[in-house]
Amino acid sequence: MQLSERHPAGLFPEEIEAFLSEAGEPAYRARQIFTWLHRQAVPSFSEMTNLPRELIEKLEERFQSPWPLELVTSRTSADGTEKYLFALSAGGSIETVLLPEEERDTVCISTQVGCAMNCSFCATGRSGFQRDLSAAEIVSQVLFVQRRLKAEDRQLTNIVYMGMGEPLANYAAVLRSVRLINHPLGMNLGARRITISTCGLAPRIRDLADEDLQVNLAVSLHAATDPERSAIMPIGRVYPLAELLAACDYYTARTHRRISYEYALIDSLNDGPEQAERLGNLLKGRLCHVNLIPINPVGEETRPSAKRIAEFARALERTGIPVSIRRERGTDIEAACGQLRQRTLEGCR
Ligand code: SAH
């Protein structure tokens, strides 16, 4: 079997089966292991109580832990947001955020160590790109949080791929992780509860549309003209707005899902009423929704005043586009993408 996934948390039952047969173990153990990993979210192989001792020892020897990552530090915000910094067994560190609400518990997960997209306002981009995560590393973030929630009789209801990295630049592992999370023998979380956020890799958006999955797509737009967008998002030079929106239209046509366009408001840069109107005109007639995110300052950029944000939202609404303003969470714990990691790494120097 030729697989880049090496850890059981990244394998489907039939692939675990192949691994077991190489180790001389019976095939039916694969379903047991898969269920322990993905449904019970156990943090150690020794808790897989219906496995024989020798098999547990083999698993421990080969993989140490059911998750290829370890918690380094965590912070809890006054609003309940929890942020985790993980060290990966294969090297590097990533962040994961739990956003508890009354009706739902959402986890925000990372897909790469660092990011190559270099958006000017993003803390992750500043640290450069190290590597893609494996599906096991992506899914384990979810399992870790699921485990924590279980202890309080809660469980995850939503997953957003909005942490560190560009999910569609790590397409195969991200798709594998979605299908693992989706698997009926595992977490069995519906694709409609999963959102993948992208800076706009148009060809990959088309690929995703063809996957026959009902995942939500969020597209980071942040500007309504090519020159303005490319100035803060270099990817805009590779896939201009016309090409990006054509791919998004294809996504809607194939999946009938409403796309969420993310728009981070940066003071005096993209927050004027005429820019709101241009954004409205650009998106007019599309099955979509705009999510306004007051920027979390990490560099030079600053956040517009509450008044200016409200004016932008009103101007956009007047064009007929549904708008929401993202409620701020966890600013007291460096919850902006990449911030905790940056702070911790700096502290270690
Ligand atoms: N690479 C993907 C997903 C990760 S970023 C993407 O670009 O969509 C998740 C969202 O947070 C994106 O919309 C991104 O543009 C936004 N973001 C990044 N840094 C931010 C900051 N400092 N303040 C507000 N939003 C930010």
Say if CB 93 and CB 85 are below 8 A apart. Answer: yes
What would the mean pLDDT of 133-148 be, rounded to a whole number?
A: 98
Pocket lining: 99 vs ligand 1, CB cutoff 6 Å: no
Q: Is 262 a catalytic residue?
A: no
**Nearest residue by C-alpha to atom 21 in ligand 1:** 296
Question: Residue 183: what pLDDT?
Answer: 98
pLDDT band at 349 (very low <50, low <70, confident <90, very high): very low
Nearest to 198 by CA among 165, 231, 225: 165
Domain residue extents for the chain = 3-63, 69-347
Query: Rounded to whole angstroms, what are the CA distances from 332 to 25, 83, 192, 231?
Result: 49, 11, 30, 29
Mean pLDDT of the chain: 93
CA dihedral of residues 44, 47, 53, 54 (deg, nearest 10) = -30
Q: Point out the ligand 1 atom lying closest to the alpha carbon of residue 298.
A: 22
Question: Residue 347: what pLDDT?
Answer: 45
What predicted TM-score, i.e. pTM, was given to this entire model?
Answer: 0.95
Q: Is 57 a catalytic residue?
A: no
- Tokens 């707005």 map to which residue? 241
pLDDT band at 169 (very low <50, low <70, confident <90, very high): very high
Pocket lining: 315 vs ligand 1, CB cutoff 6 Å: no
Instruction: Look at residue 348 and tell me whether its pLDDT is greater than 50.
Output: no
Radius of gyration of the chain (CA): 21
Instruction: Look at residue 118 and tell me whether its pLDDT is greater than 60.
Output: yes
Instruction: Look at residue 1 and tell me whether its pLDDT is greater than 50.
Output: no
Pocket lining: 339 vs ligand 1, CB cutoff 6 Å: no
pLDDT band at 200 (very low <50, low <70, confident <90, very high): very high
Mutation test of ligand 1: which of 337, 341, 343 has the most ligand atoms closer than 8 Å to its C-beta? 337
Rounded Cα distance between 32 and 252, Å, is 38
Pocket lining: 122 vs ligand 1, CB cutoff 6 Å: yes
How confident is the model over 245-280, as pLDDT tens digits? Answer: 999 999 999 999 999 999 999 999 999 999 999 999
Q: Which 8-state DSSP code applies to residue 166?
A: -
- Measure CA of the first residue to CA of the last residue in the chain; give whole Å: 42
Q: Point out the ligand 1 atom lying closest to the alpha carbon of residue 117.
A: 1
Question: Residue 250: what pLDDT?
Answer: 98
Mutation test of ligand 1: which of 197, 238, 259 has the most ligand atoms closer than 8 Å to its C-beta? 197
Helix axis angle for 135-150 and 171-182, nearest 10°, is 30
Percent of the chain topping pLDDT 90: 85
Look at domain 3-63 and name its CATH class. Answer: mainly alpha
Which of 95, 166, 301, 334 is the catalytic position?
A: 95
Pocket lining: 198 vs ligand 1, CB cutoff 6 Å: yes
Token pair belonging to 36: 């322990």
Look at domain 69-347 and name its CATH class. Answer: alpha beta
Which of 122, 199, 288, 337 is the catalytic position?
A: 337
Ligand 1 center to 266 CA (angstroms): 13
Q: Which 8-state DSSP code applies to residue 333?
A: G
